[in-house]
Structure 1
Amino acid sequence: MGFSTTLWEWYGQDEHKRVLAVCEAIPALQFLALPADSQRNAIPYCPACEAWSEMMLPLNEVLSICGSAMPAEIRTRLQATWELCNNLTGAAFHCDDWFIFDHNDWTPIRTAAEELSGLMELLEITPFLDDVLLDCRNAVRGIKR
């Protein structure tokens, strides 16, 4: 059973917080897997601030919310990716430098994010992402479907 099946099971069991956490991490993983130029072009303001709040914190959120419910291999790799993000050096991660993504410290993050994307079967999930995000956000906020 692949991870996309696990996600759909959670969705069918109304585990909306878990599904929402995973779905919010998907664009983050996709961003972290991009080449430096693409990352730079995807960030509207301070690269470090935007990357941290929008692209790295969702990884920790998944770990916090889904925890041991995730398959061990995915949880372990997600934790390792989160640690890589947390351990970026000052040279590779500081405010107002549009070229932080060119630093070599980002290479293992890109590799880890790419591997996670495959393990989590993001190609199978992404076509449904917008609808699932909307549904889960509404459910978590108590808005009737």
Structure 2
Amino acid sequence: MNTRLNTRFALVLLSLAGISAWAGNNTVTAGITKIVRGYNGGSPCAAATVGAGSMPSAGPKEDMSNLSVSCSDDKKVTWAQLREPLPNNHACVTTLDDLRKQNKYVTIVKDKTPDNAYHCVLSNITPTQFVNAAKHQQ
């Protein structure tokens, strides 16, 4: 029984190490990282609107997972370049430093798509925290 438990523990550790290694290759950590979340209509940067885009949807005070955003830690990339691939007429804009002021556990991972070279996935922050750190941009 003890051997079975040790084996399961070892497998869990190995799988977590694999996940960390994968995430480490694409994880964005620079505080200067610009982040843009597009949305259509409604109140500027409303927590309900932002949370509805999380997968699964998140309430205003629930941690979001897999929120699709555009991001870049390249100082040469402009806000306009980050917004360009987004089909939305409004956006919430922020930086990773500003998000960390709301929640130090926020994570963002690069996830390029054919339609958006700046596509990233944001997790571990509530919609309310995101909105508190963001500014509306039309």
Is the TM value for this pair above 0.5? no
Larger Rg over CA atoms: 2
Higher helix share: 1
Q: Whose strand fraction is larger, Structure 1's or Structure 2's?
A: 2
TM-score (norm 2): 0.32
TM-score by length of 1: 0.31
Higher RCO, Cα 8 Å, sep 6+:
1
